[in-house]
Amino acid sequence: MALAKSVFCGSRRIDLIPCTNSEGRLCHIFRDISLWNEYIWILDLELRELSPGQLSLVKKHKAYVGAYANIQNMLEQTESVATLLHHLLTRHQCVSSAVIDTSIFRHHHQLICDALCKSLSLKKLKLEALQPATPASRNIATALLWLNQLQELEFQYVTFNRYFIDGLSEFLASTRSLTTFAVGHENFCCKDDAVAFAQALGRNQSITTMSFDITLLLTGPLWPEMPVSHQHADMLADCLCGNKTLHTLNVRGGYRERFSAVARPIVMALAKNDTLTNLSLVGLSLEDEDIDLITWLLSQNRTLASLKMITCDGRGVSSRAYSNLAALTSDTTLKELTLDLSRFNTSQYLSLFRALASKPSLKKVTLERFNDVDVAEICEAMRETGVQERFFIGTHCVLPNTIDALTECKELSSVIVMSESFDRFELLLTTLSLLPSCGHVTSLCLELRESELRGGAGSLIAQCITGMTALRKLELSTSVCGIGDAFNEARQELAHALSANKSIRRLRVYGPWFGETETETLADTLQASRTLCELYFYPHDDGCVISLMRKLSPNFSTNYSLLDMRVQRPQNAGDDWFTVAGVIHRNCSLVTRASHFVKGRRVKYCAAAAELVHSSPGLVERVQELASVDENEAASLIKISLKSFSELNVFMRLAGVVKCGVTCHSRDDGQKQLVDIFPECWLCIRKYLKVGDILDEQ
């Protein structure tokens, strides 16, 4: 297949050169990654470094901008992007992950399939919008057989037919590399296809993590009818029951009560599985029989370490069944439990916590969807049973009769204040005035009406934000009404409060909180911030987004903390959005490399990244995730890693200057050389010398 050797992005050319990645050295493509992204963003795609030196092709929703933001240009560019994708997969070992929307490349499916067949190092693949009875479906089914290094496979919005399932079945039976398999929002053309899919899963001997929606049990089109395949459910249950490799299973529910009947065989099968360690059941319809089955599962299973059951519709479940489940958890191997409290009453909290507290191996319990009016009783029960260190409460929506709980319940860390929850304006003001004294609250969501901001709440909100020095996440939402002088004054106070608060890591703004003046203040805040990691900015005026991007783009490269920004209609901001997004992309790559350096990846570009972003809160969070430690331990690990190459010889080896250590030829004049200086002197030099300052050998 003859392919182009270069493509043009505007007036600039992208040369299609093979991968130059090697041990400790980045591929040349990393130097031009912003240019690549500018070209492929037209199709909502982006190259991102999710692990050091490895690129992933991911979806970047609503990222297309400027001259490319129209359908005609998208159609014209699709073939070129398909060519780039082919080059990336077949010529670059540094590309290990890809998301492919087959509907976008429906006219170039052969090129995509050829790329999959010839992929050098693809380890993770997500396929979207694959339709039956199409050439793409048939060719991709064949291409799967060539992916002998694939470790993770996900399907989204795929309709399975027999031809595709035959190819998938052969792949699942033969693969020894695939460990993660996920299917979401899928359905089958007929019941026979559903049965064949279950049989295909049964032939696999490598998958350790699997996720699926209950919609997987559907046959035929999703609307208007959704026939459920009971035979498929039984066969899928048999597959789960006999599986000897599965360790993690995530099941997401549907929207019809009859799903309960077909989910039941699956729950029953899990009780007989003796390898499962992590189970998540989300959004299922449950009845007494289902809870009894889960109780039985816990009594029989001696491998399950983590159980998550939330947003499950339990209207048909009695308190007896839940009580039995709660009591039994104290006799299991569980270490982590996420529990939905929506069906518990106040008299059951204490007995529940006592039962769970009696099991010391249960290290973490997360309580979700509790009745907000019961928050004081829940916290009191936690204190009485002494489980505050292991139990964590989900988000609490403040009500008129729970205002006092804000200061009394130190267990609360995430709260929502909605003006519609208060029948009197004075109660809202009281709530806002109490928040600065709540040092335990780290996440706050304010949903207010514009009239209340004009009524005097604006100043209190500003004082609240300024005074909450432990606040990490803030979400602001307001409705659109008439905007007058009082509202403008409130917006200005808010903008200055956000600038004054140095603890916020994540900021989300929805509605007309910002005008032109406030947007300028926000731009200055972002430019100077060393703590803000995430910004969602959705004002009702697109001009605010354009203004923000225009103000940020000239000097935003000095920001090393922001890792995620999502804005309303970024295409209107043109090249300014490309510039800002490029900085965010760079920051994400640096944090990725630095976190792996902290974990022991001793290569030059990871060390250079650690020096640049060592003070970033985003790095602390990433190390927490990788090392499974708390915030203080993560910060300590970062400091230790930076000290690990402070010594002269270690620094020079890491920088690639020497292989072993520094030696100097003796001088006739007796002058001191580099190896003769005291360690303290070398550390003074190191203040002005970074690993990244030393250029790689060309």
Q: What is the mean pLDDT of residues 193-215?
A: 86
Distances (CA, A) of 574 to 65, 66, 515, 517, 557: 6, 4, 20, 21, 17
Q: What is the mean pLDDT of residues 558-573?
A: 89
CB atoms closer than 10 angstroms to residue 307: 23
Question: What mean pLDDT is reported for the chain?
Answer: 85
DSSP 226-273: --B-HHHHHHHHHHHHH-SS--EEEEE--SSTTHHHHHHHHHHHHHH-
In this prediction, residue 476 has a pLDDT band, given cuts at 50, 70 and 90, of very high
3-state secondary structure of 577: helix
| pLDDT at residue 321 in the model | 54
Distances (CA, A) of 167 to 115, 137, 140, 163: 17, 10, 9, 7
Q: Which two tokens stand for residue 632?
A: 């203080």
Asked whether 217 and 194 are in contact (CB, 8 A), the reply is: yes
Q: What DSSP element (H or E) covers 13?
A: strand 12-15
Place of tokens 């297309």: 64
The amino acid sitting at 457 is A
Asked whether 26 and 39 are in contact (CB, 8 A), the reply is: no
Give yes or no for residue 80 having a pLDDT over 60. yes
| pLDDT at residue 64 in the model | 43
% residues pLDDT > 90 (the chain): 46
Asked whether 57 and 99 are in contact (CB, 8 A), the reply is: yes
Tens of pLDDT, residues 290-299: 777 777 777 7
| pLDDT at residue 220 in the model | 54
In this prediction, residue 698 has a pLDDT band, given cuts at 50, 70 and 90, of low
Give yes or no for residue 259 having a pLDDT over 90. no
Centroid of chain to Cα 161: 31
Domain regions of the chain by residue span: 1-122, 645-698
In this prediction, residue 193 has a pLDDT band, given cuts at 50, 70 and 90, of confident
Rank 104-118, 135-149, 263-277, 648-662 by mean pLDDT and report only the highest: 648-662
| pLDDT at residue 568 in the model | 85
Give yes or no for residue 308 having a pLDDT over 80. yes
Sequence-distant (≥ 6) Cβ neighbours of residue 688 within 8 angstroms:
none
Q: Which two tokens stand for residue 489?
A: 């004054």
**Structure-model confidence comparison of residues 516 and 332, the more confident one:** 516
Q: What is the mean pLDDT of residues 307-332?
A: 62
**Structure-model confidence comparison of residues 184 and 20, the more confident one:** 20
Task: Give the burial class of 628: count Cβ atoms within 10 A of its Cβ; 0-12 exposed, 13-18 middle, 19 or more buried.
Answer: exposed
What's the 3-state SS for 616-658?
CHHHHHHHHHHHCCCHHHHHHHHHHHHHCCCCHHHHHHHCCCC
**Structure-model confidence comparison of residues 265 and 204, the more confident one:** 204
Classify strands 54-59 and 45-51 as parallel, antiparallel or unpaired. antiparallel
Vertex 493: Cα angle to 488 and 496 (nearest 5): 125
How far apart CA 140 and CA 171 sit, in angstroms, is 11
Q: What is the mean pLDDT of residues 139-147?
A: 87
| pLDDT at residue 261 in the model | 61
| pLDDT at residue 422 in the model | 92
% residues pLDDT > 70 (the chain): 86
CB atoms closer than 10 angstroms to residue 631: 12
| pLDDT at residue 456 in the model | 72
| pLDDT at residue 329 in the model | 60
Give yes or no for residue 228 having a pLDDT over 60. no
Place of tokens 């995530």: 250
**Structure-model confidence comparison of residues 428 and 668, the more confident one:** 428
Tens of pLDDT, residues 163-180: 888 888 899 999 999 999
Q: What is the mean pLDDT of residues 632-659?
A: 94
In this prediction, residue 354 has a pLDDT band, given cuts at 50, 70 and 90, of confident
pTM of the complete model: 0.89
Asked whether 194 and 167 are in contact (CB, 8 A), the reply is: no
